[in-house]
């Protein structure tokens, strides 16, 4: 999830004072997970209350979140991502132009140049995914859809050419995302970031071998469709993420989200799936490794 009303991403030289979250007090830390897992999607460069990167990762590690995938949404945040994965071995990265940024770049005549720079950044060995990319019909009007589709297809090609995973952002556009994937072909590892579909989409993901990454929205009281999707999802295809600083899990909505909050969502998933936390942790670690490889490489 990306918005336009956040501060600029920090420059590489500011890595000692980065991170951030929405205004408000951070919630207390959850009990540590018995088996460490990874935050599959977060944005350390967004927010209004700067926090130190290593301190944020230390806080996450203390509750059993061993590392994270830092995700870029535009050129600035993707450059930040490359610097961040060099700064701390607990991070892997993903780089992309967010679908809501593509129309602005197209209007300025710089979209293809931006995509070329993203492709160059994707050559970094600790960049393991292209994302977040996709389609978003909620924030972009009809005039910007052509640019979104052009950008999405370019990112799909990058992921396939570089043999990287693809993280999809999809909002109010599931039909067209699926149609595009059917038309041009999906990369070998594809993730629906912050999965927002229903049981029917989960069944399609099962058939295609696509991963579904669940966020704190799973814990929301009105998340009936998400819980129905998790109930039918192939356990070998589920992941977990924060999308921090957004989507703070219940009962802490309205407070900043962060990677150390991930155990609240893991606990919810385990309860819904009838697994103990150790079983849940081993499952999520295995699935995360299948998508992104090893953090130690």
Residue 61 counted as an annotated binding residue: no
How far, rounded to the nearest angstrom, does the alpha carbon of residue 178 sit from its chain's CA centroid? 19
Residue 88 counted as an annotated binding residue: no
HSE-CB of 236 using CA atoms within 13 angstroms: 6
Q: Which residues of 123-144 are buried (b: 16+ CB within 10 A; e: fewer)?
A: eeebbbbbbbbbbbbeebeeeb
Residue 250 counted as an annotated binding residue: no
The whole-angstrom separation of Cα 25 and Cα 40 is 24
Residue 43 counted as an annotated binding residue: yes
Whether the Cβ atoms of residue 288 and residue 38 lie closer than 8 Å to each other: yes
What backbone phi and psi angles, to 5 degrees, belong to 77? -70, -25
How far, rounded to the nearest angstrom, does the alpha carbon of residue 281 sit from its chain's CA centroid? 18
The whole-angstrom separation of Cα 51 and Cα 17 is 6
User: Using CA of residue 152, residue 158, residue 161, residue 162, what is the dihedral sign?
Assistant: negative
Residues at the annotated binding site for a divalent metal cation? Answer: 41, 43, 132, 169, 193, 243
């Amino acid at each position: 999830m990306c918005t336009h009303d956040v501060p600029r991403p920090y420059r590489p030289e500011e890595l000692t004072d980065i991170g951030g979250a929405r205004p408000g007090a951070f919630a207390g830390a959850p009990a540590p997970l018995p088996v460490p897992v990874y935050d599959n999607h977060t944005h350390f460069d967004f927010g209004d209350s700067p926090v130190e990167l290593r301190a944020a990762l230390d806080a996450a590690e203390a509750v059993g979140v061993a590392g994270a995938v830092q995700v870029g949404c535009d050129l600035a945040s993707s450059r930040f991502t490359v610097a961040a994965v060099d700064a701390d071995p607990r991070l892997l990265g993903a780089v992309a132009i967010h679908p809501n940024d593509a129309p602005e770049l197209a209007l300025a005549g710089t979209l293809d140049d931006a995509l070329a720079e993203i492709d160059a950044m994707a050559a970094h060995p600790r960049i393991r995914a292209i994302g977040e990319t996709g389609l978003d019909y909620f924030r972009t009007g009809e005039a910007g859809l052509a640019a979104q589709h052009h950008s999405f297809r370019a990112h799909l090609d990058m992921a396939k050419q570089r043999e990287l995973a693809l993280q999809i952002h999809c909002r109010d556009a599931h039909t067209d995302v699926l149609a595009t994937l059917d038309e041009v072909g999906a990369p070998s590892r594809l993730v629906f970031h912050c999965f927002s579909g229903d049981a029917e989409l989960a069944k399609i993901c099962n058939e295609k071998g696509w991963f579904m990454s669940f966020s704190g929205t799973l814990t929301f009281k009105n998340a009936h469709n998400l819980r129905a999707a998790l109930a039918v999802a192939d356990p070998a295809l589920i992941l977990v993420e924060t999308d921090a600083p957004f989507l703070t899990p219940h009962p802490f909505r309205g407070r900043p989200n962060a990677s150390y909050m991930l155990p609240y969502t893991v606990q919810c998933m385990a309860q819904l799936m009838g697994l103990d936390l150790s079983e849940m942790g081993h499952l999520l670690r295995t699935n995360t490794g299948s998508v992104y490889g090893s953090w130690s490489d």
